[in-house]
Chain A
């Protein structure tokens, strides 16, 4: 158990819909990262927040957005969903940024039908 909690674990939704994935980082961790893992693309960095502020942005689509709340939990919002958005979405956390060990949650499986 990494200490990073993600909900829901599995989600099936239709194209065009919107979903929200939630993440609670490890106690004491200020950084939250979101990654997308698919069979063809591997693990892709989406976005990082540190203590409530966006710190780095990767290959995140404009249809996706994220935020980190004052209590440090984070949400990833995926809208206008397409079949290709089906993937495993991971949240990870660390005390600070790069250089600190990153701990991954178990992921949220999103299936878009």
Chain B
């Protein structure tokens, strides 16, 4: 069973601060996705990374896939209250139809 560990589990920061959340596994994934989930809604895909070492930027969000494709990080610059939510990483093994999700990092950005 492929497991994804996300850290920290909870994060509360002030508006304008920077933060990084992590997604780690002992397994290799063919691709890794990051989702954001807001209360009362389903997860929404933010980005997919597929190449070891890949870095993708989405406005103030920077996503990195580890060289060995076992881990990933999400860095948010100058966090805003609108960034508040549950951030989930999910990995797909080679040839697998299943996405394995981490338990998420619950981010609160305080105005």
Q: Which residues of A contact B (CB under 8 A)?
A: 2, 4, 35, 41-45, 48, 55-56, 58, 90, 92, 97-99, 101-107
- What number of residue pairs across chains A and B have CB atoms under 8 A from each other? 54
Tell me, in angstroms, the Cα distance from A45 to B93 when the chains sit together.
14
Check B45–A42 contact: CB distance below 8 A.
no
Check A4–B42 contact: CB distance below 8 A.
yes
Q: Which residues of B contact A (CB under 8 A)?
A: 31, 40-45, 48, 88, 90, 92, 96-104
Known interface pairs A2-B42, A2-B44, A104-B44; A42-B103 also in contact (CB < 8 Å):
yes
Inside 8 A of A35's CB, which chain B residues have their CB? 101
Interface of A is mostly: strand
Check B43–A43 contact: CB distance below 8 A.
yes
Check B97–A106 contact: CB distance below 8 A.
no
Check A56–B97 contact: CB distance below 8 A.
yes
Contact of A97 among B43, B44, B97 (CB under 8 A): B97
Check B42–A90 contact: CB distance below 8 A.
yes
Known interface pairs A42-B104, A43-B88, A98-B92; A48-B98 also in contact (CB < 8 Å):
yes
Known interface pairs A98-B92, A98-B96; A43-B44 also in contact (CB < 8 Å):
no
Residue of B whose beta carbon sits closest to that of A41: B103
Question: Chain A CB within 10 Å — which of B92, B99, B101 has the most?
Answer: B99
